[in-house]
């Protein structure tokens, strides 16, 4: 006998958990979330966790990110303290030729209301004195910040459970069939579930997951390696493109991009490059001890924009997969709940539909 749900979500990273929580607010549907690991075993547990808006292009994607950042303070009132800090974001540049690009970015983002200033060297250093005097300028936006991803996912799940969402961890989904309008879901452990609606939130495993219903999802897996320093006293105030300082004083550094499949090893060459980048930005980091390095696998759609919404030609099947899922999780959860509960969304998702890749 299979247990029956209104909605089954596959994946309990930040995206699946946010959708589960936002769906549960209405307490209308019986919802189950299935994850082959534990909630932070995928990308959401191996991330920088900036809530980053200012350089997101095109501007419409920047706007979506800005709306999501705006939801964070409200979200914290509902689910609790996720250590969201609107620190402001600084993206430094090292040559005068980049100032023109920075001014263009500021002009484009202003069309959707994202505030960006292009700072002189003096202005950058007065805002963030630890930065290198080799920096010639930076873009700055007050809207950027960061969050604790561990607390975020944990509190999404805790709030969803409180609203009666069920979770099944260490349970890999191995087969999905559609019969008489219902999805029949089977797991490696032999569990069987039926659902009226199904949501794919499988992060970097999305290709394999979607192949269970013969759907192609054009995403790539891109490794990022991060270094963590010993706790340092008040080194940086802002989220800086490349690094942030956590509440406990540790600085998380790194923005490497490698297409190596799902391989979460760290490598000496990237660790060395990342350490050099850190010192180029903040010379005093040369004296800091690195206590840990980790890597995570980004899931990045081929055109780098999120894929959100209905899966074409499979009625009642939905998808949510994207890079920047930490930034976007509040708005994605909100919009997906609207779509599943009311059949429509307050922001048009057409530009993010899976069907755009058919063209
Ligand atoms: C190094 C690095 C830095 C990043 N920095 C930022 C940043 O600063 N800001 C930002 O916004 N984003 C950042 N990101 C991206 C962000 O972390 C991701 O977009 C986000 O975590 C994706 O969440 P997710 O829920 O889609 O995926 P995941 O957290 O990977 O969750 C997917 C879940 O699906 C489950 N699953 C998959 N297949 C199955 C199956 N068959 N059966 C059951 N369960 C299954 C997995 O176990 C997993 O738990 C970064 C990523 C990396 C790697």
pLDDT(359) > 90: no
d(CA 53, CA 67): 9
Ligand 1 lined by 209 (C-beta under 6 Å):
yes
Residue 191 CB–ligand 1 contact under 6 Å: no
Distance from residue 44's CA to the centre of ligand 1 (Å)? 4
pTM confidence score: 0.98
Residue 336 pLDDT class (50, 70, 90 cuts): very high
> In terms of Cα–Cα distance, which of 248, 185, 259, 136 is closest to 34?
185
Per-residue pLDDT reduced to its tens digit, 287-311: 999 999 999 999 999 999 999 999 9
How far apart are the CA of 227 and the centre of ligand 1, in A? 19
Question: Does the pLDDT of residue 220 top 80, yes or no?
Answer: yes
Q: Is ligand 1 within 6 A of the CB of residue 202?
A: yes
> Is beta strand 137-141 parallel, antiparallel or unpaired with respect to 117-120?
antiparallel
The protein residue whose alpha carbon is closest to atom 37 in ligand 1 is: 202
Interacting residues of 186 by C-beta distance below 8 A, sequence separation 6+: 173, 174, 175, 176, 192
Query: In whole numbers, what is the pLDDT of the chain averaged over residues?
Result: 97
- With a 6 Å cutoff on the Cβ, whether 15 touches ligand 1 is yes
pLDDT of amino acid 159: 98
Pairwise CA distance, residues 53 & 301, whole Å: 18
Closest approach atom of ligand 1 to CA 224: 1
What six digits make up the tokens of 260?
A: 């190596």
pLDDT tier, 83 (very low <50, low <70, confident <90, very high otherwise): very high
Q: Which two tokens stand for residue 113?
A: 């209301």
Residue range 17-66, pLDDT digits in tens: 999 999 999 999 999 999 999 999 999 999 999 999 999 999 999 999 99
Determine the distance separating the centroid of ligand 1 and the alpha carbon of 47, expressed in angstroms: 8
CA of 14 to the centre of ligand 1 (A): 7
Does any ligand 1 atom lie closer than 6 A to the CB of residue 185?
no
Instruction: Answer yes or no: is the C-beta of 324 below 6 A from any ligand 1 atom.
Output: yes
Question: Residue 13: its pLDDT value, please?
Answer: 98
Nearest to 199 by CA among 26, 33, 22, 5: 33
Residue at token pair 């008040």: 234
Length of the chain equals: 359
Q: Residue 2: pLDDT band by 50, 70, 90 thresholds? A: confident
User: What is the tens place of the pLDDT at every residue in 121-180?
Assistant: 999 999 999 999 999 999 999 999 999 999 999 999 999 999 999 999 999 999 999 999
Q: What phi and psi values does residue 83 have, to the nearest 5 degrees? A: 55, 40
- Helix, strand, or coil (residue 173): strand
Q: Region 208-215: what's the mean pLDDT?
A: 97
Cβ of residue 307 lying under 6 Å from some atom of ligand 1:
no
Tell me, using a 6 A CB cutoff, whether residue 226 lines ligand 1: yes
Instruction: Output the pLDDT for position 195.
Output: 98
Cβ proximity of 117 and 110 under 8 Å: no
């Amino acid at each position: 006998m299979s247990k029956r749900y209104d909605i089954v979500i596959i994946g309990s990273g930040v995206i699946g958990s946010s959708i589960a929580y936002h769906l549960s607010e209405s307490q209308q549907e019986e919802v189950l979330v299935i994850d082959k690991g534990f909630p932070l075993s995928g990308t959401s547990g191996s991330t920088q966790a900036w809530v980053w808006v200012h350089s997101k292009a095109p501007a419409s994607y920047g706007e979506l990110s800005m709306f999501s950042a705006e939801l964070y303070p409200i979200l914290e009132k509902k689910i609790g303290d996720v250590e969201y800090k609107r620190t402001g974001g600084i993206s430094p540049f090292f040559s005068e030729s980049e100032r023109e690009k920075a001014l263009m970015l500021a002009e484009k983002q202003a069309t959707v209301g994202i505030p960006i200033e292009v700072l002189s060297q003096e202005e950058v250093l007065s805002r963030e004195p630890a930065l290198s005097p080799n920096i010639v300028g930076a873009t700055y936006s007050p809207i950027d910040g960061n969050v604790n991803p561990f607390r975020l996912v944990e509190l999404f799940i805790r709030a969803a459970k409180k609203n009666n969402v069920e979770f099944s961890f260490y349970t890999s989904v191995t087969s999905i069939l559609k019969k008489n309008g219902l999805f029949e879901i089977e797991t490696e452990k032999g569990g069987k579930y039926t659902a009226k609606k199904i949501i794919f939130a499988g992060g970097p495993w999305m290709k394999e997951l979607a192949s269970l219903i013969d759907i192609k999802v054009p995403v790539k897996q891109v490794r990022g390696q991060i270094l963590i320093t010993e706790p340092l006293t008040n080194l940086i105030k802002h989220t800086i493109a490349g690094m942030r300082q956590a509440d406990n004083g540790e600085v998380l550094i790194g923005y490497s991009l490698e297409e190596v499949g799902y391989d979460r090893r760290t490598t000496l060459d990237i660790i060395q490059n990342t350490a050099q980048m850190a010192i180029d930005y903040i010379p005093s980091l040369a004296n800091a001890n690195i206590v840990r390095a980790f890597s995570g696998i980004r899931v990045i759609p081929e055109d780098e924009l999120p894929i959100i919404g209905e899966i074409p030609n499979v009625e009642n099947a939905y998808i949510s997969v994207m890079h920047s899922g930490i930034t976007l999780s509040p708005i994605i959860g909100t919009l997906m709940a609207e779509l599943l509960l009311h059949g429509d969304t307050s922001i048009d998702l057409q530009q993010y539909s899976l069907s755009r890749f058919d063209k």
